[in-house]
Copies of this chain bind each other. A is one copy, B any other.
Amino acid sequence: MKWSELNDNWCPVARTLSIVGDRWTLLILRDCYLGKTKFEEFAASGGMTRHLLADRLKRLVEVGVLERRAYCTAPKRFDYVLTAKGEELRPALAIMKEWGKKHLPVRRTAVEG
């Protein structure tokens, strides 16, 4: 089986991963949950290259996890907002957040308190 065929896999987990299972998509969703909507906001988030960001956003819009809205017509500007479908993945990210906090403390001797 190739990755590109996962979307027809018998397993619903595999089908979900065919959308969000790559290296950057869940990180984009995290930014969405944090309230980011604009291309430059995602780009500034220190994540992937603009190239990949554009690609992933397009894909997320295609599958209906995000919606691309024109928030400004004069200088055609778009932002990306979560759909209901996209919101439903939030709990999965929340679990990963708790898991990371619990099991993966930052190694750099941080000055947390």
State in angstroms the CA–CA spacing of A22 and B25 once bound together. 10
Interface string of A1-45 (1 = CB under 8 A from B): 101000111111111111111110011001000000000000000
Question: In the assembly, how many copies of this chain are there?
Answer: 2
A97 touches B26 (CB 8 A): no
* Majority secondary structure of chain A interface residues (helix, strand, loop or mixed): helix
Tell me if A74 is interfacial: C-beta within 8 Å of chain B: no
Say yes or no: B19 contacts A21, CB within 8 Å.
Answer: no
User: CB-nearest residue of chain B relative to A34?
Assistant: B11
Please indicate the chain B residues that have their CB under 8 angstroms from the CB of A92 in the complex. Answer: 92, 95-96, 99
Specify the chain B residue showing the minimal Cβ separation from A33: B13
Interface size class of A (residues with CB under 8 A): 35 or more
Q: Does A106 contact B (CB under 8 A)?
A: yes
The complex places the Cα of A65 from the Cα of B66 at a distance, in Å, of 31
A residues at B contact (CB < 8 Å):
1, 3, 7-23, 26-27, 30, 46-47, 64, 85, 88-89, 91-93, 95-104, 106-108, 110, 112
